[in-house]
Chains A and B, each alone.
Chain A
Amino acid sequence: MLLCVTVPDYALAVASLDDAAPRDADTPVLLADKRDRGRTIAVDAAAFRYGARIGQTIAQASAMVQGARVLVHDAARSRALWDDLLDALDAVTPLVDGEEPGVAFLEMTGVAGRPADHLARAHRAIGGFGLPVRVGFAANKFVARCAARAADGTICAEGAEAAFVADLPVGALDIDPRALSRLQLLGVRTLGALAALPHGPFVRRFGSAGATWHERARGIDRTPFLPRAHAVAIEAAIFGEGTAEVEAQVVFALRVLVDRVCADMECLGKRAGALAIELELENGEMRAREIGLAQPTAQARAMLDVLRANLEGATFEAPVVGLRVRALRLEEAGEALTLFRGAGEPDPQTIAVTIARLEAALGETAKRARGVRAYALEEQFAYAPFSASFETRPSVAPQDDTVGDEAGDEGGTLMPQLRLLEVEEIAVRIAGGAPSHVGSPPKAVLECAGPWRIEENWFSVPLARDEYDVLLEGGALYRIYRQGRKWYLRGSYD
């Protein structure tokens, strides 16, 4: 049996709660998504009567409702308050499903007491928040929600769901307005009338969604109850048990802590997606790092490899006297689906450790390139962090925007490759409007292609240059360009 706790127009209720400005209880209230050029996302009953609707601009809604109070939605505040409310409901039962702000379901099966007692406990738990709360009790989510909407404290006895919802309007199903109007045109105005329709023809007419509507009209709801995960802290620390002056000692201590953390995660059935490590130095300084794992794991070996790779080559001003390791981004356990990884595909954890070692050794993170649509050569690509988890099966999808119809010639030909050289000014002699000699000492130009004009960024820092491909005596192929009166070397074909 489920208890439904609902706060009608939750966002509007939170904004009204936080509104410190004095106003009459009858003053219409509008809730906008933002202050400047925002749109209404909620209106109260008074504003609705005057013609304000969701989706109107603030100006439109204010014109409809003279003297309305306009509030701005604070999503972070709404979410935080909702989390606090769910935490408070933990006092009623530990199984709380509250993914949607404004509606929470509590699993009361096995909790001692009568339904009326449960309703009273729920009111006591969240009464201090100052929000208008309605509570209902029924066997499934849909009926419990209808009970809460009907009136605060409504109880639907088990087995009486169909009779309970029979007189409710079809609007209680929260369906698409077009589908709703179609049902009303067909003369179906209550859930009881909908339930009386034959199931098969109804589903054929309205699709798979119609099957769900028909079931709910009969008081059946198969939506699963998904209780939220409780916040747990899994960490282990060593402080005041000596000093570690060499890397091997720190790694030894890390191994002990990682083993403890993994043991705790195993007990709770969790795995971590990241680790936080804090080192306290003898001079009082604290060094903290957050290290992401390629994929959530509870294996000590994988965690230790990543930690060790991150600390390779790290130097500290003083010996380490304290160490703390905390597991972050916890999720329900279950091993990674390595069964479904191909035999030749690398382990993402191995890649993550390799990237960590490269970063520790070189001081720069390894990355992957991606194409960017641009005309200037140096702007045609950008770099992004290399993700260890990726689809390694061959794909026929194009890789990036710059790959046109020239890519992937599997025959006996190659694709010309350009090597970008450091941009340097070069000496170029012109004859007949085209480069005739390049460089110092000058080399004759055997063939010249171009120019290709590139003009970009006229609105900020303008870029205007003429690019040429030149073949020099000696067999070298270069890309050069003229910008203003100067010539520059850009790349060579290799």
Chain B
Amino acid sequence: MFDYDYSPMSALASVSALKIDRFAAFSALKTELAARAEAARESTAERCFASGLPALDAVLGGGLLRGTLVALEGSSGRTAIAARLLARATATGLAAAIDTGELFPPALARAGVRLDRLLVVPATTALGIARAVDILLRSRAFAVVLMPAVALRGQVWARLAGLAQKAGAIVLALGTAGAELCAFAATRVRCALDRVLIAGANGVFTRLIGYDVRAQVLKHRFGRPGGEAVVRAMHRSGGAPVRERILARVALRAVGMV
């Protein structure tokens, strides 16, 4: 009466075969995805620009990614981290810094920045700063470009981010990040003072020789945000005893730093 192409037994066998095929396909898919993820991790590692600060590089997953916009926010410690990155960049190539009149080159030199490889571009207006960074990125000759986080439109930040990606350069924007910069920055790090280091006896022999910077990763497009690292910035104490002044985090929170 009914002419079936397959018997129930053969149907059962084909369903089993189908399950085996699906299992194999799913396994192959998992293997493929794992291989692609590994390849992506390797290519990300190659593109990492390590700061040379083990604690900070650990929370950043190896370092900052080349070809991205990085916002260094907060109240203190940003320039110290930026100086370290400039030092790493000028060790093997060129870097540029937009100077609004606040640059202090001797401190940069003490951080290891090669001043003969640091192009200082004087600019004070937001438009001038944006044009300068645009020109520097288009040249593709600078590994790191330091600029103040001025108020620019989203289209401008988008263009600068695109140019940074094409040039493979890191654009460090120091200052309070507006909503546009927050959106286009691939990495945002908030810095605050954790403690201050004092050397010498009280009185005229007291020296403020350094401070600890607490860097909190607010955003990391290619890694895991939320990590914190404490990095020390310190002159040599010259043998004098060093004491620490821990800054109350309650006080810091009150002024919106944490």
Q: Which residues of A approach B to under 8 Å, CB–CB?
A: 344-347, 350-351, 353-355, 357-358, 361-362, 364, 366-371, 377, 380-381, 383, 386, 390, 392, 394, 399-400, 402-410, 412-422, 446-451, 469, 471, 473-477, 491-494
Contacts and interface: CB of A to CB of B under 8 A. Distances in A.
B166 interface: no
A368 B108 contact: no
B257 A399 contact: no
Given A361-B131, A362-B128, A394-B92, A413 B102 contact: no
B94 A420 contact: no
B121 A358 contact: yes
Interface in B110-124: 110-112, 114-123
B96 to A, nearest CB: 8
A474 B76 contact: no
A437 to B, nearest CB: 16
B114 A346 contact: no
B132 A361 contact: yes
Chain A CB within 10 A, most for which of B78, B111, B213: B111
A358 B99 CA distance: 13
A451 B121 contact: no
Given A344-B92, A361-B131, A471-B196, A414 B111 contact: yes
User: Interface of chain B, helix or strand or loop or mixed?
Assistant: mixed
B153 interface: no
Interface string B79-123: 111111001000111100000011111111111101111111111
B123 A414 contact: no
A419 B104 contact: yes
B255 A494 contact: no
Q: How large is the interface on B (under 10, 10 to 19, 20 to 34, 35 or more residues)?
A: 35 or more
A476 B252 CA distance: 10
A438 to B, nearest CB: 14
A477 B192 CA distance: 11
A364 B100 CA distance: 13
B115 A417 contact: no
Given A351-B139, A362-B132, A415-B235, A476 B121 contact: no
B226 interface: no
B155 to A, nearest CB: 18
A416 B104 contact: no
Contacts of B247: 475
A371 B105 contact: yes
A354 B139 contact: yes
Contact of B135 (A361, A383, A390, A417): A361
Contact of A346 (B103, B141, B192): B141
A390 B141 CA distance: 14
A368 B251 CA distance: 40
B75 A469 contact: no
Closest CB pairs A-B (n = 4): A369-B105, A414-B233, A415-B111, A346-B141
A399 B109 contact: yes
Given A351-B139, A416-B235, A475-B75, A394 B91 contact: yes
Contact of B76 (A371, A469, A476): A476
Given A369-B115, A415-B80, A476 B120 contact: no
Interface stretch (B2-10, B29-37, B157-165, B204-212): B204-212
A417 B80 contact: yes
B71 interface: no
A447 B206 contact: yes
B235 A475 contact: no
B58 to A, nearest CB: 11
B107 A416 contact: yes
Nearest to A363: B128
Chain A CB within 10 A, most for which of B102, B116, B204: B116
A244 B118 CA distance: 38
A344 B112 CA distance: 20
Given A368-B116, A414-B231, A414-B233, A477 B251 contact: no
A400 B115 contact: yes
B77 interface: yes
A471 B207 CA distance: 11
B194 to A, nearest CB: 9
A400 B107 contact: no
A132 B182 CA distance: 82
Contact of A403 (B102, B110, B117, B200): B110
B104 A344 contact: no
